[in-house]
Amino acid sequence: MFFEQPPHVLRLIWKGTWRRKQVGKKVVYLTFDDAPSPTTTPKLLDILDKNNIKATFFCVGDNVRKYPDLFEDIKRRGHRVGNHSMHHLKGFCTDYDSYIQDVELADRVIQSTLLRPPYGRITLKQLRTLSKKYEIVMWDVITRDYNNKLTPEEVYSIVKRYTRNGSIIVFHDSEKAAHNMFGALQPSILFLKEKGYSFELL
């Protein structure tokens, strides 16, 4: 559970970052990290269209630079985008100035008020500075679709077990996560709809 759903102590440490939203009603927020990717984004967008769902894509600036047409397609189809840094840096392992500069470099191509720190790893000093400009969005449920030791069925079971009202759910729009993400996404959507959840943008 420590991995799939952040414990209360971490929620207190990173107070002010979004992990759940609209707790009082049956709504969830699908989010996808690491976009765009030529091997996954087009198919993912089609799945979301088929299910009439809008999601939030936290984009890596360097991927946006490489695949600008895919980035524009995400927005054209009505999804929201957020900043996931330029080079997917870990805040704990990156000095303050370099990390802030990397996020700001990504902002030049992404231009969003939303920011999700890669891996959720950000120092308090970095957080204090960036929260003056961005809404920092963590998560309530991380599917762990990036873990190749898991199966799509196990990823789906994480969604079933941990999702609750207001959950911000993380999948990954990347080649690394593709097998698990695509295998678990449609069953997860059907399950959540059956349970009465609606899907909204952050």
Q: Enumerate the active-site residues.
A: 33, 172
Q: How far apart are CA 4 and CA 6, in angstroms?
A: 7
Q: Among 45, 122, 120, 123, which Cα is nearest to 81's? A: 45
Contact of 54 with 197, CB cutoff 8 Å: no
Q: How far apart are CA 149 and CA 155, in angstroms?
A: 10
Contact of 6 with 19, CB cutoff 8 Å: yes
Contact of 140 with 5, CB cutoff 8 Å: yes
Residues comprising the chain, all counted: 202
Q: Among 85, 94, 92, which Cα is nearest to 115's? A: 85
Q: SS3 of 77, please? A: coil
Q: In the structure encoding, which two tokens stand for residue 61, read together?
A: 């600036």
9, burial (CB in 10 Å: exposed 0-12, middle 13-18, buried 19+)? exposed
